[in-house]
Amino acid sequence: MTPEQIAKMLQDKFDQAIIEARVDGLHPHVVVPADRWHEVAMFLRDDERMKFDWLRAISGVDRMQDGQLEAVYDLHATQPSAEPGGLWGERHSFAVKVRMPRDNPHVTSVADVWPAAEWHEREAYDLLGIVFDGNPDTVTDHDGTHPRRILCPDDWVGHPLRKDYQFPEEYQGIPGWAGDDRPLDKKK
Amino acid sequence: MSFMVNRFEEGLMITSVDWALNWARQCSLWPVTFGLACCAIEMMATGADRWDIDRFGAGAYRPSPRQSDLMIVAGTVTYKMASRLVRLFNQMPEPKWVIAMGACTIGGGPYYKYGYHVVKGIDLILPVDVYVPGCPPRPESLLEGLLRLRDKIAHNTIAKASPSQAESAA
Amino acid sequence: MSEIELQGQPDVLIDVDAESSADMVTEELLINMGPQHPSTHGVLRLLLRTDGELVLEVTPHIGYLHRCAEKIGENLTPKQYVPYTDRLDYLSAMNNNLTYALAIEALAGIEVPERATYIRMIMAELNRIASHLVTFGCFGMDLGAWTAFLYSFREREHIMDLFESTCGARLTYSYITVGGVTHDLPDNFVERLREFLDYFDPKLPEYDGLLSNNHIFVRRTANIAPVTAEQAIAWGLSGPIMRACGPRWDLRRVSPYCFYDRVEFDVPVGEGQMGTVGDSWDRYIIRMLEMRQSVRILRQLLDQLPDGEVMAKVPRTLKLPPGEIYMETENPRGQLGFYVQTDGSPIPYRVKAKGPSFCNLSIMHEICRGILIADIPAILGSIDVVMGEVDR
């Protein structure tokens, strides 16, 4: 199926849930609001013509200009070979972007749809602060209920990939910079 | 000292306690396996057949810090790893030495400017004896660092505490 | 549960609360493996919940090598960022460079000269052999076979010599950059590479005799932690460990990038020769078979290598038009993906690197139930993670 057909099928089925569809260009995708994402995900995985069984990556993006955070899901549908032991092929690949407000970024976890999502969601929370409700590895602490951090330590402050992130001056007594040098303050 | 001349057989060596201890220590530096990142691969290559580190006595990598006297920090140290690094260093018995291998351990390396999670040089947390620059350093550079460390050990004396001993005593 | 099946020996059931041991009080242990450990292939922490020797659960903890690659990508131009892509999966640096270069070239609309593409493919396949040699050597070392390590690093030094004569570096090359490659091949490179391939070909059956068919090695890896094809796709695995489960999937055949459609090669899959399909032995043997295929590809590439330029005309300040792309290539450990979003300035807005080892490692939790502690190095070695691309 071509990206245009996939986008059309999604728009026919979900109507209001597909905010935007960009099918020309190098990265065809549709934009879905956070509250409808889980049902769109189930449809993408289970529908006979779609069969997106392989979640490649979840990338979080900080859209400062819109005041939104965005999670980009890259999906893929494998085509098993017709004869046993033959080469597998690619049915189609597509992407879905889920946008949510920057000050309240919540979206339902799709770890029950694609188990691979668990770690990707933990990383998107760690680096950008997108809270995936229902992630299998969720903890509750002073920051609320959120997926457990995966890359930064558990007591790390802030979400590093946000555009307004402040680099730490020190962590557990170790200075953030050697001596008085502050390379980020230097003019280019 | 004329009574010693020609009194003993050939093969007797007379030396100082310092020299003997230093010779023993420098010729059997046993590193702890502390490869973190890309420099670890070059450290493994130094231990492999072409640049055999074992000919300098330093080929017996020990998995446990309690059995080693050298820590070659090979690779980037992050804030998450830093507490473990210090803990392992504290577990090593005296005398112990540290070689900072690679640009990341010297001053943060390529991650100096935008690496929020990278410790900008392990001398912020450990006393370092030899710095081996490179990204990653060639095995010959690491061997040169090892030889410089041997020279440094040759100038030690048991009458004075080494820097790490002084720090742990303080 | 009162009975647990011991992996590898399906007819043995271990009764964890048998009456005969009622006078013995056992408790579950939480054992910490790593982050400094000789067989965790880097800074990986595994939390084992064990009942004696039997492992009930394994939880990987990562992030000890998180080097902020994505934040750096948002602050540097593509040409400045290429050295950082080397350090993602530092054992296959050429392949990482290639993925990022392909992504940026697709966005910027740069066409790479033909000779440069052939050189890129030659370097990528050579690096695949070098990377699989390290896997072979370290897997053997983890299980106690020191000879494998020394043999593989001896072969690898020849490849390092070839790389060093071309671009000056032994491990992190930054050779494949936006627009082509930085230097042309040295004059005698083709002859030396042919000599190396002739020297290396008879070594592979030697390694089979050393390790692959070694009785102890087979006992330690066959039937250990098998992964089914459905599990592999659901958990997002890619690369040799996905092929070991059965699917004959190779990105170089599915959607060929560079000129992989001009060369012929097979895609080996796991067949459960020594045990179950998708067990640790299968994951290991795929890499040995892939090395043979890489040698085959290299010989064809050397025959087809044309003359010409090695670098396209790329402006000093490369303006990236607004857009986005998700580019994946087949690296030795799986499919490395770069998601790059640009907004018209010379510096990308967002660079996301999906390391294949990140997805491959997530299956540890799923498959490590009912194994012995001594099986963990076998499983980790067969999954073959490099923490540089897990943590980025």
Instruction: Give the max Cα distance, chain C.
Output: 80
Strand stretches in chain C, DSSP E: 3-5, 13-15, 29-33, 45-51, 54-61, 176-177, 180-181, 323-331, 334-342, 350-354, 371-372
Count, residues in chain A: 188
* Å between B46 CA and nearest CA of chain A: 30
CB contact under 8 A, A167 and B116: yes
Cα B121 to Cα B60, B73, B85, C392: the distances in Å are 26, 11, 13, 19
The stretch C87-104 carries a mean pLDDT of 93
Who among C71, C106, C267 is closest to A87 (CB)? C267
* pLDDT tens per residue, range C38-64: 776 788 999 999 988 899 999 999 999
Q: How confident is the model at residue C146 (pLDDT cuts 50, 70, 90)?
A: confident
The stretch C116-138 carries a mean pLDDT of 94
Token duo for residue C381: 């070695």
Q: What DSSP element (H or E) covers A108?
A: strand A106-108
Search chain C and give the residue with CA nearest A45: C234
Q: Is a pLDDT exceeding 80 seen at residue C76?
A: yes
The confidence score (pLDDT) of residue C81 equals: 93
Neighbours of chain C (3+ CB pairs under 8 A): A, B
Token duo for residue B62: 């020990």
For residue B112, the chain A residues in CB contact (below 8 A) are 183
Search chain B and give the residue with CA nearest A182: B113
Q: How confident is the model at residue C144 (pLDDT cuts 50, 70, 90)?
A: confident
* pLDDT tens per residue, range C226-272: 999 999 999 999 999 999 998 999 999 988 988 999 999 999 998 88
Do A155 and A167 form a contact (C-beta atoms < 8 A)?
Answer: no
Residue type, C147: T
Among the listed residues A50, A79, A78, A73, the one whose alpha carbon sits nearest the alpha carbon of residue A61: A73
**What's the gap between Cα B52 and its chain centre?**
16
Residue B100: Cβ within 10 Å count: 26
CA C298 to CA C193: how far, in whole Å?
A: 9
Q: How confident is the model at residue A141 (pLDDT cuts 50, 70, 90)?
A: confident
Sign of the C-alpha dihedral computed for residues B49, B53, B55 and B59 taken in this order:
negative
* pLDDT tens per residue, range C282-298: 999 999 999 999 999 99
CA B87 to CA B45: how far, in whole Å?
A: 27
Search chain A and give the residue with CA nearest B82: A174
Q: How confident is the model at residue B67 (pLDDT cuts 50, 70, 90)?
A: very high
Do B164 and B131 form a contact (C-beta atoms < 8 A)?
Answer: no
* pLDDT tens per residue, range C309-357: 999 998 888 888 999 999 999 999 999 999 999 998 999 999 999 999 9
Do B74 and B67 form a contact (C-beta atoms < 8 A)?
Answer: no
Q: Which residues contact A23 (CB under 8 A, 6 or more apart)?
A: A2, A3, A4, A6, A7
**Does any CB of chain C come closer than 8 Å to the CB of residue B46?**
no
Do A123 and A109 form a contact (C-beta atoms < 8 A)?
Answer: no
Do C46 and C364 form a contact (C-beta atoms < 8 A)?
Answer: yes
Angle subtended at Cα C242 by Cα C238 and Cα C246, rounded to the nearest 5 degrees: 150
Who among B37, B49, B114 is closest to C90 (CB)? B37
Please give the share of chain A, as a percent, with pLDDT higher than 90: 33
pTM of the model: 0.91
Cis peptide before C35 (omega within 30 of 0): yes
Q: What is the DSSP letter of C122?
A: H
Token duo for residue B41: 């691969």
Residue with structure tokens 């090395």?
C291
Who among A153, A172, A183 is closest to B112 (CB)? A183
Write down the number of H helices and E strands in chain B: 6, 4
Token duo for residue B127: 């006393």
